[in-house]
Amino acid sequence: GYHADKWKKMLIQYSSPTEAYFDTSDNDPFCMYNYLLDITTWNKSIRRGFIKVKIIDYAGNTVESQMNSEASTFQQYKRVKILTGFHQDIEKIAKISLTFSTKTLIGPKQKLRILQMKLKSLNNPKR
């Protein structure tokens, strides 16, 4: 990796398009709290789409994840792991809500049936 102030000098030398991924610090205003969403679905047919996660604490505070830029493929009884991030950390989660989207306007709406789900904090792995 490269320090944030030096990344452009390193990538500018490549003539082809290059993707850059930045890790943020634990301090505001650039903090990001990362979670690993591990889900198993039981739809008989394959589903392809995006998952948005909303977590709510016991006081009613809510935070939503950013939708991933790449779609995931969900098959019956196959585990899928998705890295998701939040701009705020919620220590004691009371409720988790998932929204499945195919990002298409044409065609029938599809449901994603969840058999098992686990949300693990990567910043605080003991949680």
What's the pLDDT score for residue 91? Answer: 86
**Domains of the chain, residue spans:** 4-121
Residue 5 pLDDT > 70: no
Q: What is the number of residues in the chain?
A: 127
What's the pLDDT score for residue 40? Answer: 95
Which two three-digit tokens encode residue 42?
């039981």
- Who contacts 14 (Cβ-Cβ below 8 Å, separation ≥6)? none
Residue 74 pLDDT > 60: yes
- What letter would DSSP give residue 42? -
Residue 124 pLDDT > 60: yes
| Alpha carbon distance 70, 109 (integer Å) | 19
Type of residue found at 47? R
Residue 97 pLDDT > 70: yes
What's the pLDDT score for residue 4? Answer: 58
Q: What is the pLDDT of residues 19-55, one digit of tens each?
A: 665 655 566 556 778 899 999 999 999 999 999 999 9
Q: How confident is the model at residue 61 (pLDDT cuts 50, 70, 90)?
A: very high
Q: How confident is the model at residue 88 (pLDDT cuts 50, 70, 90)?
A: confident
4-121: CATH number: 2.60.60.20
User: What pTM was estimated for this model as a whole?
Assistant: 0.70
Q: Are 80 and 39 in contact (CB under 8 A)?
A: yes
Q: Quick one: which of 101, 103, 69, 74 has its CA closest to 84?
A: 69
Residue 58 pLDDT > 80: yes
Which two three-digit tokens encode residue 29?
């205003």
Q: Nearest-5° angle of CA 13, CA 31, CA 124?
A: 115
